[in-house]
Structure 1
Amino acid sequence: MAQYSDEELLSAAREAAANAYAPYSSFPVGAAVWPGEGQPVFLGCNVENAAYGEAICAERNAVTTMVAQGIRQVDTVAVIGLKAHPCYPCGACRQVLREFGCRRVVVEGPDGRPVAHDFSELLPYSFGPDALSGV
Protein backbone atom coordinates (compact mmCIF):
# COMPACT_ATOMS: atom_id res chain seq x y z
CA MET A 1 0.00 0.00 0.00
CA ALA A 2 1.33 3.41 -0.96
CA GLN A 3 2.24 5.87 1.75
CA TYR A 4 3.75 9.19 0.72
CA SER A 5 6.05 11.41 2.75
CA ASP A 6 5.52 15.16 2.90
CA GLU A 7 8.70 15.58 0.85
CA GLU A 8 7.40 13.25 -1.86
CA LEU A 9 4.08 15.08 -2.02
CA LEU A 10 5.81 18.46 -2.27
CA SER A 11 8.07 17.10 -5.02
CA ALA A 12 5.02 15.93 -6.96
CA ALA A 13 3.36 19.34 -6.47
CA ARG A 14 6.54 21.04 -7.75
CA GLU A 15 6.42 18.88 -10.89
CA ALA A 16 2.78 19.85 -11.42
CA ALA A 17 3.61 23.56 -10.94
CA ALA A 18 6.08 23.30 -13.81
CA ASN A 19 3.05 22.67 -16.07
CA ALA A 20 1.02 25.63 -14.81
CA TYR A 21 -0.54 27.95 -17.35
CA ALA A 22 -0.05 31.34 -15.70
CA PRO A 23 0.59 33.92 -18.46
CA TYR A 24 -1.27 36.69 -16.60
CA SER A 25 -0.07 36.38 -13.02
CA SER A 26 3.27 34.66 -13.69
CA PHE A 27 2.55 32.80 -10.45
CA PRO A 28 2.76 29.04 -11.13
CA VAL A 29 1.26 26.78 -8.46
CA GLY A 30 1.13 23.01 -8.19
CA ALA A 31 -0.80 20.72 -5.89
CA ALA A 32 -0.64 17.05 -5.01
CA VAL A 33 -3.76 15.55 -3.44
CA TRP A 34 -3.44 12.22 -1.68
CA PRO A 35 -6.72 10.49 -0.78
CA GLY A 36 -5.11 8.09 1.69
CA GLU A 37 -3.61 4.65 2.10
CA GLY A 38 -3.53 2.60 -1.06
CA GLN A 39 -4.59 5.48 -3.30
CA PRO A 40 -2.61 7.30 -6.00
CA VAL A 41 -1.62 10.95 -5.82
CA PHE A 42 -3.61 13.35 -8.00
CA LEU A 43 -1.85 16.39 -9.42
CA GLY A 44 -3.11 19.78 -10.43
CA CYS A 45 -1.71 23.11 -11.54
CA ASN A 46 -3.26 26.52 -11.88
CA VAL A 47 -4.75 27.28 -15.28
CA GLU A 48 -5.45 30.94 -15.96
CA ASN A 49 -7.74 32.49 -18.54
CA ALA A 50 -7.97 35.89 -20.22
CA ALA A 51 -11.34 36.16 -18.45
CA TYR A 52 -9.59 36.18 -15.06
CA GLY A 53 -12.52 34.83 -13.07
CA GLU A 54 -12.48 31.65 -15.14
CA ALA A 55 -9.08 30.55 -13.81
CA ILE A 56 -8.82 27.39 -11.72
CA CYS A 57 -6.38 26.92 -8.87
CA ALA A 58 -4.02 23.97 -8.62
CA GLU A 59 -5.76 22.49 -5.59
CA ARG A 60 -9.23 22.49 -7.15
CA ASN A 61 -7.76 21.14 -10.37
CA ALA A 62 -6.26 18.18 -8.47
CA VAL A 63 -9.48 17.57 -6.50
CA THR A 64 -11.66 17.55 -9.62
CA THR A 65 -9.29 15.05 -11.24
CA MET A 66 -9.56 12.87 -8.12
CA VAL A 67 -13.36 13.07 -8.13
CA ALA A 68 -13.44 12.15 -11.83
CA GLN A 69 -11.76 8.88 -10.79
CA GLY A 70 -14.54 8.17 -8.28
CA ILE A 71 -12.62 9.09 -5.13
CA ARG A 72 -14.36 11.34 -2.63
CA GLN A 73 -11.88 11.71 0.26
CA VAL A 74 -8.75 13.86 0.67
CA ASP A 75 -6.26 12.98 3.36
CA THR A 76 -3.44 15.40 2.51
CA VAL A 77 -2.82 18.17 0.01
CA ALA A 78 0.65 19.53 -0.71
CA VAL A 79 0.91 22.97 -2.33
CA ILE A 80 3.91 24.60 -4.01
CA GLY A 81 4.09 28.11 -5.38
CA LEU A 82 7.21 28.38 -7.49
CA LYS A 83 7.54 32.06 -6.56
CA ALA A 84 6.32 32.02 -2.95
CA HIS A 85 7.25 29.94 0.07
CA PRO A 86 4.96 29.16 1.79
CA CYS A 87 2.01 29.13 -0.59
CA TYR A 88 -1.27 28.25 1.13
CA PRO A 89 -4.60 27.36 -0.51
CA CYS A 90 -6.92 30.29 -1.17
CA GLY A 91 -10.33 30.50 0.48
CA ALA A 92 -12.18 28.84 -2.41
CA CYS A 93 -9.73 25.94 -2.42
CA ARG A 94 -9.98 25.58 1.35
CA GLN A 95 -13.75 25.22 1.04
CA VAL A 96 -13.45 22.58 -1.70
CA LEU A 97 -10.83 20.68 0.32
CA ARG A 98 -13.19 20.83 3.31
CA GLU A 99 -15.97 19.32 1.21
CA PHE A 100 -13.84 16.22 0.75
CA GLY A 101 -12.67 15.93 4.35
CA CYS A 102 -9.09 17.11 3.96
CA ARG A 103 -7.09 16.25 7.06
CA ARG A 104 -3.68 17.85 6.43
CA VAL A 105 -2.11 20.63 4.36
CA VAL A 106 1.61 20.62 3.58
CA VAL A 107 3.45 23.62 2.18
CA GLU A 108 7.10 24.39 1.61
CA GLY A 109 8.51 26.69 4.27
CA PRO A 110 10.92 29.54 3.56
CA ASP A 111 13.82 27.18 4.32
CA GLY A 112 12.59 24.61 1.79
CA ARG A 113 11.40 22.15 4.41
CA PRO A 114 7.83 20.84 4.62
CA VAL A 115 5.48 22.62 7.00
CA ALA A 116 2.37 20.57 7.85
CA HIS A 117 -0.87 21.82 9.36
CA ASP A 118 -4.06 20.15 10.48
CA PHE A 119 -6.71 21.35 8.06
CA SER A 120 -8.78 22.79 10.91
CA GLU A 121 -5.95 25.31 11.52
CA LEU A 122 -6.49 26.74 8.03
CA LEU A 123 -10.29 26.75 8.07
CA PRO A 124 -11.59 26.86 11.64
CA TYR A 125 -15.34 26.75 12.24
CA SER A 126 -15.81 25.53 8.68
CA PHE A 127 -19.06 24.87 6.87
CA GLY A 128 -19.29 21.44 5.28
CA PRO A 129 -21.60 18.60 4.33
CA ASP A 130 -22.25 17.72 7.98
CA ALA A 131 -23.79 21.18 8.49
CA LEU A 132 -26.54 20.18 6.06
CA SER A 133 -27.44 16.92 7.77
CA GLY A 134 -30.61 18.39 9.29
CA VAL A 135 -31.85 19.94 6.04
Structure 2
Amino acid sequence: MTLACPCGRVDIRGKACAFTACCGRFLDHDTPAPDAEHLMRSRYSAFVLGRVDYLAASWHASTRPADLSLDPRVKWLGLEVKNHRVIDANHAEVAFVARSRVGGRGQRLVEASRFGREGGRWFYVDGDLK
Protein backbone atom coordinates (compact mmCIF):
# COMPACT_ATOMS: atom_id res chain seq x y z
CA MET A 1 0.00 0.00 0.00
CA THR A 2 1.32 3.43 -0.95
CA LEU A 3 0.91 6.11 1.68
CA ALA A 4 -0.43 9.46 0.52
CA CYS A 5 1.75 12.46 1.26
CA PRO A 6 0.53 14.46 4.27
CA CYS A 7 0.98 17.72 2.33
CA GLY A 8 -2.05 16.89 0.19
CA ARG A 9 -0.40 17.39 -3.22
CA VAL A 10 -2.28 15.71 -6.06
CA ASP A 11 -1.10 14.68 -9.52
CA ILE A 12 -2.59 15.87 -12.83
CA ARG A 13 -5.38 13.26 -12.51
CA GLY A 14 -6.32 14.57 -9.06
CA LYS A 15 -4.91 11.48 -7.31
CA ALA A 16 -2.99 11.96 -4.05
CA CYS A 17 0.77 11.88 -4.53
CA ALA A 18 2.68 9.15 -2.71
CA PHE A 19 4.80 10.30 0.23
CA THR A 20 7.92 8.66 -1.20
CA ALA A 21 7.58 10.55 -4.49
CA CYS A 22 6.51 13.82 -2.87
CA CYS A 23 7.82 15.12 0.48
CA GLY A 24 9.52 11.84 1.42
CA ARG A 25 12.35 12.51 -1.01
CA PHE A 26 13.20 15.65 0.98
CA LEU A 27 12.60 14.31 4.50
CA ASP A 28 14.22 10.89 4.07
CA HIS A 29 17.11 11.85 1.77
CA ASP A 30 19.43 14.80 1.46
CA THR A 31 17.56 16.06 -1.60
CA PRO A 32 17.05 19.83 -1.46
CA ALA A 33 13.58 21.16 -2.18
CA PRO A 34 13.56 22.81 -5.64
CA ASP A 35 11.53 25.83 -4.53
CA ALA A 36 9.90 27.48 -1.54
CA GLU A 37 6.52 25.78 -2.05
CA HIS A 38 8.08 22.31 -2.02
CA LEU A 39 10.00 23.22 1.13
CA MET A 40 6.88 24.57 2.83
CA ARG A 41 4.93 21.41 1.92
CA SER A 42 7.74 19.18 3.18
CA ARG A 43 7.88 21.17 6.44
CA TYR A 44 4.13 20.63 6.89
CA SER A 45 4.70 16.90 6.36
CA ALA A 46 7.50 17.04 8.94
CA PHE A 47 5.08 18.60 11.46
CA VAL A 48 2.55 15.83 10.74
CA LEU A 49 5.21 13.13 11.15
CA GLY A 50 6.96 14.70 14.14
CA ARG A 51 10.25 15.12 12.25
CA VAL A 52 11.87 17.82 14.39
CA ASP A 53 15.25 17.04 12.79
CA TYR A 54 13.98 18.11 9.37
CA LEU A 55 12.21 21.17 10.72
CA ALA A 56 15.41 22.37 12.39
CA ALA A 57 17.57 21.64 9.32
CA SER A 58 15.19 23.51 7.00
CA TRP A 59 14.83 26.55 9.30
CA HIS A 60 17.21 29.43 8.56
CA ALA A 61 19.92 29.67 11.24
CA SER A 62 19.17 33.37 11.83
CA THR A 63 15.61 32.67 13.01
CA ARG A 64 15.70 29.02 14.15
CA PRO A 65 14.62 28.60 17.78
CA ALA A 66 17.22 27.12 20.13
CA ASP A 67 14.70 24.57 21.40
CA LEU A 68 12.30 23.13 18.88
CA SER A 69 9.68 20.81 20.30
CA LEU A 70 6.28 19.85 18.99
CA ASP A 71 3.03 19.69 20.94
CA PRO A 72 2.03 15.99 20.88
CA ARG A 73 -1.64 16.95 21.33
CA VAL A 74 -1.80 18.58 17.88
CA LYS A 75 -3.31 16.42 15.14
CA TRP A 76 -2.68 17.96 11.71
CA LEU A 77 -5.66 17.59 9.36
CA GLY A 78 -4.73 19.23 6.07
CA LEU A 79 -2.86 21.86 4.13
CA GLU A 80 -4.00 24.31 1.48
CA VAL A 81 -1.41 26.39 -0.34
CA LYS A 82 -3.00 29.70 -1.28
CA ASN A 83 -0.11 31.37 -3.10
CA HIS A 84 3.56 30.86 -4.00
CA ARG A 85 5.24 34.11 -4.96
CA VAL A 86 8.80 34.19 -6.25
CA ILE A 87 10.40 37.51 -5.31
CA ASP A 88 13.78 36.84 -6.91
CA ALA A 89 16.16 33.89 -7.39
CA ASN A 90 16.82 33.63 -3.64
CA HIS A 91 13.62 34.88 -1.98
CA ALA A 92 10.02 33.69 -2.08
CA GLU A 93 6.79 33.75 -0.08
CA VAL A 94 4.20 31.03 0.41
CA ALA A 95 0.74 31.71 1.84
CA PHE A 96 -1.09 28.72 3.27
CA VAL A 97 -3.76 27.44 5.63
CA ALA A 98 -2.97 24.45 7.83
CA ARG A 99 -5.81 22.83 9.72
CA SER A 100 -5.34 20.99 13.00
CA ARG A 101 -7.18 19.73 16.04
CA VAL A 102 -6.06 20.11 19.64
CA GLY A 103 -8.10 18.48 22.36
CA GLY A 104 -11.06 18.08 20.03
CA ARG A 105 -11.05 21.73 18.94
CA GLY A 106 -10.44 22.58 15.31
CA GLN A 107 -7.89 25.27 14.52
CA ARG A 108 -6.61 27.01 11.42
CA LEU A 109 -3.08 28.33 11.04
CA VAL A 110 -3.05 31.00 8.33
CA GLU A 111 0.42 32.24 7.49
CA ALA A 112 2.38 34.11 4.85
CA SER A 113 5.85 32.55 5.12
CA ARG A 114 9.14 33.95 3.87
CA PHE A 115 11.86 31.72 2.45
CA GLY A 116 15.45 32.33 1.44
CA ARG A 117 17.88 30.29 -0.60
CA GLU A 118 21.52 29.92 0.38
CA GLY A 119 24.07 27.56 -1.11
CA GLY A 120 21.42 26.06 -3.40
CA ARG A 121 19.06 25.18 -0.52
CA TRP A 122 15.79 26.83 0.48
CA PHE A 123 15.18 27.66 4.14
CA TYR A 124 12.14 28.83 6.08
CA VAL A 125 12.98 32.30 7.45
CA ASP A 126 9.83 33.53 9.19
CA GLY A 127 6.18 34.27 8.62
CA ASP A 128 3.25 36.50 9.43
CA LEU A 129 0.22 34.88 11.04
CA LYS A 130 -3.08 36.13 9.72
From the two aligned structures, give the one with the greater strand fraction.
2
For Structure 1 versus Structure 2, the TM-score category normalised by the shorter chain is under 0.3
